[in-house]
Structure 1
Amino acid sequence: MRIEANVFNIPTAFFILAGTAYGIFTHWSEWVGFLAIYLTAGMFGMVGFYFKMLERRHGKRPEDAEDGEIADHAGEQGVFAPWSWWPLVLAAGAALSFVALAVDWWIMVPAAVLGTIGLWGWVFEFSRGQHAH
């Protein structure tokens, strides 16, 4: 995971430097520009930090080794939902909220309700029903 972490950590450093340079050249008077660049650095940094945590937790993977074979990574890959309709409900709530931005504010109420139901169902999918733990 070191390579994946560096793919995101190197742009983090670049965007921090770019945001600082942008702020210096604009005399810190244009708030949107340097703040957006710093937020971009923050987003890259969060993903890089996550990959660095995964590297510490899981150690070296077979694909990280120079002499790794395809068969070294055989076996169980994780726990995945066999089927789920909840992402579709959550996406419908998100789509309805974008419609609310374009049409009228009152559509945001059913969008929030639908999105909350979809998120709740997806998070607690393995807590009840056929796939309960």
Structure 2
Amino acid sequence: MKVEAWLFTGTALFFAVTTAVYAAFSPEPAGTAALAVSFLMTSLIAAFLWRQHRRGGGRPEDRKSGEVRDAGGRREFFPAGTYVPVTAAAGSALIGLGVVQGLWLCLIGFGVLLPGVLGFAFRTLDHPQ
């Protein structure tokens, strides 16, 4: 998590500097507010990742000598013939198009997205580790 934490910390610092410069040179408050919210969101994610790193310690990916077999615990697995990721992606795309094209397409998108979300939520992980 350390690499991800540094990445989001750098992004948050970028948004902080950009917000300050934009606020100083632009009379428009909407852009300043949008940049400030972006800074707060990335700061929240960075704080979460730093907390997880402190709490869980380093992962094998964080070490130079880390091996794949060092990663213990439960691994997520989707069988090759699963429909869940494709259904969720298609439903999300239809919802996005529905926002632009009309309510009817958005409702169809929710109908397509629902089985995908339920598949993600209630899948069984009975495969051998």
| TM-score when normalising by structure 1 | 0.71
User: How many pairs were matched up?
Assistant: 125
The equivalent position to 1:59 in structure 2, one of 49, 57, 60, is 57
Does the CA-based 8 Å contact 2:59-2:71 persist in structure 1?
Answer: no
Alignment of 1:1-133 (within 5 A): 1-27=1-27, 30-62=28-60, 64=62, 69-71=65-67, 74=70, 76=72, 78-83=74-79, 84-126=82-124, 131=126
Does the CA-based 8 Å contact 1:62-1:73 persist in structure 2?
Answer: no
In structure 1, runs of 5+ residues without a counterpart are none
RMSD: 2.9
In structure 2, runs of 5+ residues without a counterpart are none
| TM-score when normalising by structure 2 | 0.73
Displacement after TM superposition at 1:90 (Å): 0.9
Report SS of the residue matched to 1:55: helix
